[in-house]
Amino acid sequence: MPRIPIALIALGLLSVSPTLRLPAQSLRIPYQTFTLPNGLQVILHEDHSVPVVAVNTWFHVGSADEQPGRTGFAHLFEHIMFMGSEHVPTGEFDRQLEAAGADNNGSTTEDRTNYYEDGPANALALMLYLDSDRLGFLLPEITADKVDLQRGVVQNERRQSYENRPYGLAQENILQRLYPADHPYHWPVIGSMADLQAATIEDVRRFFQTYYTPNNATLAIAGDVTPGDARRLVERYFGDIPRGPAGTRPRPPAVQVPDGVNAVIEDRVQVPRVYDAWHTVKAFAPDDATLDVVANVLAGGRSSRLYRRLVYELQIATDVVAFQDGSRIDGKFEIYATARPGHALSELQMVIDEELKKLADQGPTVREVERAQNGFEAQFLSRMERVGGFGGKADQLNFYNYFVGTPDYFQRDLDRYHRVTQATVQQAVRTYLVAPHRVVLSVVPQWKPELGVKP
């Protein structure tokens, strides 16, 4: 019998307070955790429903830890982690995993860098062998050629995902204006071409020695393996890697958005797009989930307020998106909408302003809040289906462990959304989404700045 990782507890219709709706289900991801003498924290979760296993490692370093002049370095380093280590020649990391039927990938954000391997349950020893070799034995194998090669790959990633994509440079233009130059969220994770070009092999060595230590990492293993077997393998492969120096992360400077930023950039596009961005709150701060609900009410699908006005009724936009983006040390809220041909961004901005004012003045309907909560609950359930990959259970255990210090925070996270009310949504709009502290960025066709939002 497969274990049932989600305990379903019917709570009936008991209501303890008129503003607090109880969830009908309870999510639980049983786990064990332990820490090796060298400081490596390990999280284990059993799920025998399919004979696959997922290994997911978070290093507590991201682009926010980069130095001026070296933006994009944390992500460039992530690429170098796949280029071979002392006992694993270049190319063998991927070849050995594929030959065992396993996949792998890595990703970098402002706050952390993660790596995963997914595959058949019998491949766990190989995954840990490979991961431990690049943690313990990477330095001697780093060469200028490897750095140069992955520098080229990453520069092409920047071209493919940002420069050669319509509106692709909007986000870095927003960050530049939302955060002061000395704030670590001032620059994008991908970094600048010039900084990527400037990175040296010495930078790589220093970065590895500072951040790629067992005491700066958390290893999650989920899937068809018993905790005892997993623990023995982890101890075997990671036990002899020495602890590194204790890391410190400096306190970021305070964020002060200059009043009324209104900027225009040109792009190779035929129709303009407007972005509104506000500095809000970091992940798991009291209003973080409320702002997720705000985003849902404003632009979550075709029944949302802004879609109805801009796309459906007025037909002056083709799309509209809103999201709260809470990170480790700060958060932002964004709305963007793309104009239809023949329409200028001031028309769109006027409607966005009207809808924000309406939501601030009157709050959302009961149904809007409940609809958003139901949507989040459904997403939480579907996130329970997979043990591996980005956003699988192993990755989520690491996520919660990193952000709130508790791997099995699934139900408590969902509870945050159930606690949102009409009043808190209204209050969040009034508090955060106010015009004086907003960055407005218009992305317009070349030589057509007149299509931008008028100051």
Partner 1 sequence: MKAAVRWSGSRAVSSGLAGWVLATAAALLTAASPDRLTAQVVDRSKPPVLAPPPALKLPAVQTATLPNGLELTVVEMHKVPVVDVQVMVDAGAARDPADAPGLATFTAAMLQQGAGTRGALEVADEAAFLGAALNTSASFDRAVASVHVPKRRLEAALDLLADVVLRPTFADSEVNRQRELRGAQLVQQRDEPVAVASVAFPAIVFGAAHPYGHPLNGTDAATAALARPRVVDFYRGYYHPDGTRVLIVGDVNLAEARRLVAARFGAWERATVPAFPTAAAPAPAARAVYLIDKPGAAQSVIRIGHVGPPRSTPDWYALDVLNTILGGAFTSRLNQNLRETHGYTYGAFSQFAARRLSGAFVALASVVTAKTDSSLIEFLKELRRIRDEPVPAAELAKAKAYITLGLPGEFETTGGAAGQFRDLLAYGLPLDYYDHYIERINAITAEDVQRAARRYIDPDHFDIVVVGDKSQIEAGIKALNEGPIVYRDVWGQEIK
What DSSP designation does 250 have?
A: P
422 belongs to the binding site for partner 1 (CB under 8 A)? no
Restricting to residues 226-285, name those near partner 1 by CB under 8 A.
226, 229, 232-233, 235-237, 239-240, 268-271
Restricting to residues 194-233, name those near partner 1 by CB under 8 A.
224-226, 229, 232-233
**Cα–Cα distance measured from residue 177 to residue 183, given in angstroms and rounded to the nearest whole number:** 11
49 belongs to the binding site for partner 1 (CB under 8 A)? yes
The smaller minimum CB distance to partner 1, of residues 223 and 244, is found at 223
Restricting to residues 309-348, name those near partner 1 by CB under 8 A.
311-312, 315, 318, 325, 338, 340-341
What DSSP designation does 303 have?
A: T
| Contact mark string toward partner 1, 128..167, x via CB under 8 A | -xx--x---x----------xxxxxxxxxx-xxx-xxxx-
**Cα–Cα distance measured from residue 55 to residue 130, given in angstroms and rounded to the nearest whole number:** 11
> CA torsion 325→327→329→332, rounded to 10°?
-10
Per-residue burial over 404-420, b if 16 or more Cβ lie within 10 Å, else e, is eeebbbbbebbbbbbbb
118 and 388 in contact (C-beta within 8 Å)? yes
3-state secondary structure of 105: strand
Least distance CB 455 / partner 1 (angstroms): 26
Least distance CB 87 / partner 1 (angstroms): 4
Closest CA to 220 of 402, 385, 411: 402
Restricting to residues 347-386, name those near partner 1 by CB under 8 A.
367, 370-371, 374-375, 377-379, 381-382, 384-386
| Contact mark string toward partner 1, 26..45, x via CB under 8 A | --------------------
308 belongs to the binding site for partner 1 (CB under 8 A)? yes
Least distance CB 82 / partner 1 (angstroms): 7
225 and 398 in contact (C-beta within 8 Å)? no
Identify which range of 77-85, 255-263, 345-353, 408-416 contacts partner 1 by CB under 8 A.
77-85
98 belongs to the binding site for partner 1 (CB under 8 A)? yes
- Please give the angle made by the CA atoms of 250, 277 and 73, to the nearest 5 degrees: 40
Q: Which run of H or of E encompasses 34? A: strand 32-35
Least distance CB 320 / partner 1 (angstroms): 12
